[in-house]
Homo-oligomer: A and B are copies of this chain.
């Protein structure tokens, strides 16, 4: 039978596609990967709309028990594995697909929105972003985001920083924390940054500030991310201006 890897999008229960919802309804078991992102609605809201019971899959289940809990049941029945955002975007669930193939389980992928493309809403061209990077909670000795920023800056490209989160502990890195990290690591405090909160919701917050001012800038929605723009085309400048 089939393992469906289904994206749920960014905001609430209505971000699933018609195809995704149709697939869920064929499944006898439905898992929700719930450790790399979160939605703005409760799991009960999803269950109500989808008309199914959802099992929460934490990191331990996905990384250590997926074979037994998710893949083996898909040998004889249809199983849905729901992923917030697009299935293979911010997090790679390639591994679960490879393991399913080993068991001769068909895998069907159903895409939807991801922060990686929804960020286009800010008004900077997606073609002009360089490598994406993440800032983890434990970052005292982490320099990857700084190195990525430097390489992108040299090429005139925009840099998207995704911020760490731990939804099961209700812990989300804020834009202020990310700005503090960048400042501490020596990024020019006068550089222009774009703070983005709740992208994909109907009330995204986008603010443009110098790095030193972003440290204390309040945002209320989560998840949050940050951009340091590279060279700006006049249309991009106009788009940024429209958020001021």
- Chain B residues lying within 8 Å of A92, measured Cβ to Cβ, are 120, 125-126, 235
Known: A9-B112, A131-B129. A101 touches B18 (CB 8 A): no
The interface bits of chain A over 80-116 (1 if a CB of B lies within 8 angstroms of the residue's CB, else 0) are 0000001111101011011001000000110111101
Complex CA gap A92/B129 in Å reads 13
Residue from A108, A120, A132 whose CB has the most chain B CB atoms within 10 Å: A120
Query: Within 8 Å of chain B (Cβ to Cβ): is A121?
Result: yes
Q: Which residue of B lies closest to A13 (CB)?
A: B18
Whether A15 is near chain B, meaning CB under 8 Å from some CB there, is yes
Q: How far is the CB of A115 from chain B (nearest CB, A)?
A: 9
| Main DSSP-derived SS at the A contact region | mixed
Residues in B neighbouring A19, C-beta threshold 8 A: 11, 14-15
For residue A113, which residues in chain B have a CB less than 8 angstroms away from its CB? Answer: 7, 17, 86, 111-114, 117
Does A30 count as interface, using CB distance less than 8 angstroms? no
Tell whether, in the assembled complex, residue B131 and residue A155 are in contact, meaning their CB atoms are under 8 Å apart: yes
Hey, which chain B residues are within 8 Å of A90, CB to CB? 126
A141 CB-CB contact with B under 8 Å? no
- Any chain B CB within 8 A of the CB of A118? yes
